[in-house]
A and B are shown apart, each in its own frame.
Chain A
Amino acid sequence: MAFLSAVSHKSDESEKKRSFLPYLLLLPGLVWLFFFFLMPILTLVSTSTKTPGLGIGEFDQTYRFANYWDAIVNSRGQFFRSFEYASIATIMALIIAYPLAYAIAFRSGRWKNVLLVLVVAPFFTSFILRTIAWKQILGGQGIGFKFLTWLHIISPQSHLTASAFAVVAGLTYNFLPFMTLPLYSSLERIDPRTMEASGDLYANAFTTFRKVTLPLSMPGVVAGTLLTFIPAAGDYVNAEILGNPQTKMIGNVINARYLQIVDYPTAAALSFTLMVAILIMVTLYIRKSGTEELV
């Protein structure tokens, strides 16, 4: 505060320059947001209330808000499935990523950077290729399938591909780095002495984790689950490649409406509904987790 008031004592001319500068610096970002965020959203909303015109791919604005009702009623199964798969994948990713991030943050020593590169390494190949690779891993001749039959977790007669299991596994795998990296960065910021202090104050390893490490890593848990859940809920590649007609997610519906049936209004209504639904869920989640108080 003292610093700010000191600045305001400067001469009027430099003050004018100063007050103008922040807006100038904001300008490129605002222009970008206008063209690549605001315009598409408005187009999306406006498309969502149109009705088919004369030719294919032509639509007239009739403000038919019933489009939303129709779209939601027809696709409610896929909506729920999307959130169900995304939730399971997020929980699985958290269970896998937390120990991994913990090990990298506290136990990896000089291997830390190598391990971090390995976490990011899958991004060097295409998302689609990696998902197709999972089809082979889980296929009858794949190592994943053989390993699970060897462990007697599944019988050799069963099949893993084209199933809900495969879709969730694909989602979990594909978004794992988005879970691991925020977890790592919030764990890494914890002063290890607070954990020593906890041990010094009569907490055993488990209590230390529950009372100190986990609460201090909550910002990472929240960031990681959001970065996993949001794209997973809207994803259609995994369901397309690893699923079957009974595992279609809302992304698949939007994709089909838009590109195959050429029903832009329904696709737009579904997209907008998905956005709003996720926004509401995320807001409730952040409120509930109370992480805004942390650091």
Chain B
Amino acid sequence: MVDASTSAHGDIKLSNLTKAFSDFTAVDDLTLTIPEGSFFALLGPSGCGKTTTLRMIAGLEEPTAGSIFIGNTDITHMRPYKRPVNTVFQNYALFPHLSIFENVAFGLRRRGIKDVKEQVDKVLDLVELPHLAQRKPLQLSGGQQQRIAVARAIVNRPALLLLDEPLGALDLKLRRQMQIELKWIQTEIGLTFVHVTHDQEEAMTMADTIAVMNEGRIEQMGSPADLYDNPKTAFVANFLGQSNLIKGSIESNGSESLVVNLFGQKVAVPRARSSARDSSILVGIRPEKLRISPETSSASGNVLTGGIIEDVSYIGVSTQYQVLMPWGQELMVFEQNDDGVPPLDKGDRITLSWEPVFTFGLDGSEDANAGSELHKDEEE
């Protein structure tokens, strides 16, 4: 068979990719490059267009505009069965009438590969389920079906493996285990993985690069650490972990840092970490970077005074405080319990402080709550 399924390889390039349905635009002018051999995650809430993007790459959805390239091969309008792309479907979509062996062999047989048995056995060894070869899919547990779905796809050595919320149907413990296993498999065989998920922890655990999607567009792309430390939009700051975002105005513009007025109190924001376009700014600080201390004690770095503890949740390794600030906003603080029992109680008056380098600045026109409510909706 002479087609792209064996010859094409290289970086995956999406250019101006758009998918419009009759009543809304699922994917809006998407351009991105996925380097060959990387583990790439498309992260976003449901309906953000990540699955539609994946389906366009797989050929299950026809793009309205734009193009998809693997290396130098244009696959935009190629039939799905001609693409060097394989998919691990959300609910695995194993063939219920075929044995595990035949499920895994399906792609090889269609391409007329000779040493089917050898290759299937090898990949079943890789997913550590060679003893189940003669079973039917429905006789397997969810985790086993998941591994067979991966095996059925990677046995074909595609240029690109697509994973559509592959761990969504598994319970939390199994999901954690599979995350590590998938990452290991990817490293082992060196294929390009594109992983679609709404679970930010999953994306951060597995991916080299994450693209955060929202409403059909990419909000921000980068390594997990980069996205977490330097969010460029309120949506990313809230969707990837939690953030305290406080509205303020820039008072002076130093060479190293900005001085920002937050409801009468002044804090420093590293200039390089601010994406404010004018004097209006959202000052961001992650809950675990905040230090909490009684009002009477002294604090250094950036300091905000006048907070009252509204709620204390003790969760073993850490304690979560909800602090009401004088301007009516609630801030989240995570404190490590390295000193044993938390010393502070509900109703205590406290001071918050943090190292200025941990501060990031977003443009003041952003909605401080964008993306923060989506976490709860997504948890099943």
Measuring CB to CB, which residues of chain A are less than 8 angstroms from any residue of chain B? 191, 193-194, 196-204, 207, 211-212, 215-216, 294-295
Contact = CB atoms under 8 A, between A and B. Distances in A.
Given A216-B96, A294-B97, A202 B91 contact: no
A204 B107 CA distance: 11
Contacts, number: 66
B146 to A, nearest CB: 14
Interface residues of B, number: 27
A199 B94 CA distance: 13
Contacts of A295: 96, 138
Given A201-B156, A204-B79, A216-B96, A196 B110 contact: no
Contacts of B135: none
Contacts of A203: 81, 106, 110
26 contacts: A191-B91, A191-B93, A193-B89, A193-B90, A193-B91, A194-B93, A194-B96, A196-B87, A196-B93, A199-B80, A199-B81, A200-B60, A200-B80, A200-B85, A201-B110, A201-B153, A201-B156, A202-B5, A202-B107, A202-B111, A202-B156, A207-B110, A212-B95, A215-B97, A216-B97, A294-B97
B349 to A, nearest CB: 56
Contacts of A193: 89-91, 93
Nearest to A200: B87
A291 B86 CA distance: 30
Contacts of B59: 199-200
Nearest to A190: B96
B89 A202 contact: no
B308 interface: no
Contacts of B81: 199-204
Nearest to B87: A200
B152 interface: yes
Contact of B89 (A197, A211, A215, A294): A197
Contacts of B89: 193, 196-197
B134 to A, nearest CB: 13
B250 interface: no
A193 B152 CA distance: 14
A216 B96 CA distance: 8
A197 B95 contact: yes
A212 B102 CA distance: 12
Nearest to B60: A196
Interface of B: 5, 58-60, 79-82, 85-87, 89-91, 93-97, 106-107, 110-111, 138, 152-153, 156
B152 to A, nearest CB: 7
A201 B96 contact: no
Nearest to A212: B95
A294 B91 CA distance: 20
A199 B111 CA distance: 12
B27 to A, nearest CB: 18
B97 A202 contact: no
Contacts of A211: 106
A116 to B, nearest CB: 25
A35 B153 CA distance: 58
Given A202-B81, A202-B156, A197 B97 contact: no
Q: Which of B5, B79, B85, B138 has the largest number of chain A CB atoms within 10 A?
A: B79
Nearest to B102: A211
Contacts of B5: 202
A204 B152 CA distance: 17
A194 B87 contact: no
Nearest to A192: B93
Nearest to A294: B97
Contacts of B82: 202
A200 B58 contact: yes
Given A191-B91, A216-B96, A201 B86 contact: yes
Contacts of A194: 93-96
A207 B60 CA distance: 17
A211 B138 CA distance: 18
Given A199-B60, A200-B80, 5 more contacts: A197-B95, A199-B81, A202-B110, A215-B97, A216-B96
A194 B60 CA distance: 12
Nearest to B80: A199
Contact of A201 (B60, B90, B138, B152): B152
B282 to A, nearest CB: 42
Given A204-B79, A216-B97, A197 B110 contact: no
A25 B318 CA distance: 59
A27 B87 CA distance: 53
B31 to A, nearest CB: 25
Nearest to B104: A201
B155 to A, nearest CB: 10
A80 B69 CA distance: 63
A202 B106 CA distance: 9
A295 B136 CA distance: 10
A199 B61 CA distance: 12
Q: Which of A194, A197, A203, A295 has the largest number of chain B CB atoms within 10 A?
A: A197
